[in-house]
Structure 1
Amino acid sequence: MASPSLVWFRDDLRLTDHPALRAALDRGEPVIALYVLDEESDGVRPIGGAARWWLHHSLASLAERLAERGSTLVLRRGRAAEIVPAVVEETGAGAVFWNRRYGGPEREIDAGLKEKLRGDDVTVASFAANLLFEPWTVRTGADKPYGVYTPFRRAVEKMPSPRAPLPEARKIPGTSKAPASDDLDTWNLLPTKPDWAGGLRETWEPGEPAALARLREFLDDDLGDYAFSRDA
């Protein structure tokens, strides 16, 4: 019997350069994509209004892109330390993968989940995905974080090059019976009374495709002059 792989999306609502998703695909089992809106865990700060607007549209974009590739985005709200094991139990997932976060409370949640899930004989792995170098890899000779930029830069320049970006996932096999999901609209992330997000809608487009378009524009039009125009 198949034991699906659970990919827990967090600050990485994309399909390109996503090590946790790649690990799930390489495992060769159906993939369950999960996002948990956790505003309850100790030390985790609820996000502000503009970030909530951005999150709503980013999740909608991710759900659409997953559906195009054969998978489904499962939305749950609550304490991640409770939600993730519950989804594992519901689905019989044999592995859970996520990309690392670096805030203190978030790291505590992740460490606790690793211990819990491994105790239940579930494969768990986390990955570096959002930084060129993780905080603990660039240290002074006294094994402390750098406090001055120039020595930090020099140390980074001596380190091995970061890994190459991973390609976009083109096909993501879903499960025949996806677990129940919240309706995104019931999370009430969008402002309504009043709707103050008009300026955001006119200026920004959330979602991975729009982010990649902005990156391409920067590389094509602005990178060459960055050293001169960055302070303009």
Structure 2
Amino acid sequence: MSVALVWFRRDLRLRDNPALQAAIEAGHTPLPVYIHAPHEEGAWAPGAASDAWLHQSLQQLDADLRARGSALVLRRGDSHAELQALIAESGAQAVYWNRKYEPATQPRDAAIKRGLREQGVHAESHNGYLLFEPWELATQQGGPYKVFTPFWRNALGRWRLAALTEAPSRLPGHGLQGLPLQALQLAPRLHWDAGFWAHWQPGEAGAQEALDVFTDGALNGYREQRDLPDRTGTSLMSPHLHFGEIAPWRIVHALERLRSAGRDADIDGYVRQLGWREFSWHLLHHFPQTSDSNLNPRFDTFAWAPPRAELLGAWQQGRTGIPIIDAGMRELWATGYMHNRVRMLVGSFLCKHLRMHWKEGARWFWDTLVDADLANNSMGWQWIAGTGADAAPYFRVFNPVTQAQKFDPHARYITRWVPELAGLPVKARFAPWLSPSLLAEQAPTYPAQPLVDLAQGREAALAAYHRCR
């Protein structure tokens, strides 16, 4: 039987894997390989939290393959060169993979496909990551969308879910040797990620468990509870989606089976969030500069404040003196994750109250989030800053105190992540600087004043916006 390399990348699963399925259906013996090549990711090589998750996910994928008689072959180096070496060692006649869509990896993959075909090796790529390819949906004029609502309307009009495919029960052995996982140097040496794994289970089984927990629990009332950070009101599927441990269409299939008169609104609300993921990749494909540059060029002259290391460091460490901001940044450091509503608040505070460039926040999230995704990260920060497509207007400046009072009314989220404030009355935990004596008595280690007066920070941001306009 002929051999085909199945090149795993951002599709670390055996179910619903179009590349693996195509290799099997073509009659090949699949040889699963993973090539570690962060230098080929351009300026956005994966961050430390992503690497920590990847280590765990590769370990789980290898275990899943071994349980079926195969194994994952690990290599590191230049992708094309390593594929050539694997072809020579195995006699493979074909290479199958699922597409990646980052600006740095798309041209690389196209060059690899051309090179393989020129030497007579069958090379085939598939969509294993998205509901729609980034180039599939276009405006009536044939251009890309910059506004979500018409994009999503078009998507729903062309809605066709891929069929589900189960993992093969057995796979042939291959005997090819690779590197030990430790050689990829993904796991942190100082084990600063130890706290992550009380919250997460990387791998395909962990993804399915997270989906089951969501459909049994947080899906009920999702639209009302998804903005409340003090409870599990969201799916927590984002890192599993990012690493391709579950296909988005499997999630939708699972939700569609649960439709009833009382759940349709929650299901539609969640599927719409998957639509934002699709929209972000659509934007990055058509506007690849948006990971580093403003999509709206008007903001190229915006008067960002000069970088100040002490302010940025206080924001990163959760020492701003504003409890909801500090709670979010501490949650991020402890778990590799932050609730979406709080992401908007910490981003708005950085970009507007402190008036620091959105790239400062994007880089920090990129290094510390386990679901760091170039398209979502870029779109999210530009949305917050008001510089991107379908963005929040720059003059919309979230007040973190009133937002906390609205979405964390009992200060449970604040108290969990900023426990030194637990001795204060609930009302004082939202703006403790307004109760200075009580703060000094109950939480002497917490900042006595916020980094910036919220009213003054807002006015400075609006003044800079008006000058730019």
Query: TM exceeds 0.5?
Result: yes
> 1:44, 1:19 → 2: CA distance?
29
Distance 2:75 2:113 in 1: 19
Partner of 2:86: 87
Counterpart residue type for residue 157 of structure 1: L
Do residues 211 (structure 1) and 207 (structure 2) align? Answer: yes
Distance 1:10 1:42, change over 3 A: closer
Deviation at 1:83, TM superposition (A): 1.0
Q: Secondary structure of the equivalent of 2:104?
A: helix
* Structure 1 residue 168 displacement after superposition: 2.1
Separation of aligned partners in 2, 1:230 and 1:201? 23
1:202 aligns with 2:202: no
Q: Name the structure 1 match of 2:227.
A: 231
User: Does residue 39 of the first structure (1) align with residue 38 of the second (2)?
Assistant: yes
Which of the numbers 159, 164, 185 marks the counterpart of 1:188? 185
Which deviations, in whole Å up to 9, do the C-alpha atoms of 1:70-90 show, x marking residues without a partner?
Answer: 111100001112111221122
Of stretches 155-164 and 54-63 in structure 1, the one that deviates more from structure 2 is 155-164
Deviations 1:14-44 (A, max 9, x none): 1111000001111222211000100233726
Deviation at 1:186, TM superposition (A): 2.1
Alignment of 1:1-16 (within 5 A): 2-16=1-15
Question: Between Structure 1 and Structure 2, which shows a larger proportion of strand residues?
Answer: 1
CA drift at 1:200: 0.7
> 1:101 offset after TM fit, Å?
0.6
In the alignment, structure 1 residue 97 sits paired with structure 2 residue 93: no
Q: Give the distance between the partners of 1:87 and 1:171, measured in 2 at CA.
A: 22
Q: If you compute each CA radius of gyration, which structure gives the higher value, 1 or 2?
A: 2
> What is residue 68 of structure 2 aligned with on the other side?
69
In the TM superposition, residue 205 of structure 1 has moved relative to its aligned partner by 1.4
Contact map agreement 1:17 1:167 (CA 8 A) in 2 = yes
Check whether the contact 2:12–2:57 (CA below 8 A) recurs between aligned residues: yes
Decide whether the 8 Å contact of 1:37 with 1:78 is kept in 2: yes
Deviates more, 1:216-225 or 1:5-14: 216-225
1:147 corresponds to: 146
- For 2:44 and 2:148, the matched residues in 1 are separated by 28
Question: Structure 2: how far apart are the matches of 1:3 and 1:101?
Answer: 26
Percent identity over paired residues: 39
Aligned 1:120-135 pairs, distance under 5 A: 120-135=119-134
Residue equivalent to 2:423: none
**Using the alignment, how far apart are the partners of 2:43 and 2:133 within structure 1?**
21
Q: Deviation digits for residues 53-72 of structure 1, max 9, x if unmatched? A: 11111111000100111111
Structure 1 window deviating more from structure 2 (23-32 vs 39-48): it is 39-48
Query: Whole-Å Cα distance in 1 between the matches of residues 4 and 89 of structure 2?
Result: 12
1-structure distance, mates of 2:64, 2:102: 28
Work out whether residues 128 and 134 of structure 1, in 8 Å CA contact, stay in contact via their aligned partners in 2: yes
Tell me if the contact between 1:39 and 1:79 (Cα under 8 Å) persists in the aligned partners. Answer: no
State the distance in 2 between where 1:160 and 1:75 align.
Answer: 37
CA contact (8 A) 2:2 2:27 kept: no
- On the 8 A contact 1:44/1:106 being kept in 2, the answer is no
Larger relative contact order (CA 8 Å, sep ≥ 6): 1
2:35 and 2:79 in contact (8 A); partners too: yes
Amino acid at match of 1:46: A
Greater CA drift, 107-116 or 221-230: 221-230
Q: Structure 2: any 5+ residue segments left out of the alignment? A: 229-469
Aligned length: 228
Between Structure 1 and Structure 2, the one with more helix by share is 2
- TM-score normalised per structure 2: 0.47
The one-letter code sitting in structure 1 at the alignment partner of 2:4 is S
SS of residue in 2 equivalent to 1:137: coil
What CA distance in whole angstroms lies between the structure 1 residues aligned with 2:41 and 2:6? Answer: 23
Q: Is the 8 A contact 1:37 1:76 kept in 2?
A: yes
Change (3 A) 1:16 1:42: closer
Contact 2:41 2:105 in 1 (8 A): no
Q: Is the 8 A contact 1:25 1:172 kept in 2?
A: no
Instruction: Please state whether the residue corresponding to 1:136 is helix, strand or coil.
Output: coil
How far off its partner does 1:13 sit? 0.7
Match of 1:79, as an amino acid?
D
**Partner Cα separation in structure 1 for residue 197 and residue 41 of structure 2:** 32
* TM-score (ref. length: structure 1): 0.93
8 Å Cα contact 2:73/2:179 also seen in 1? yes
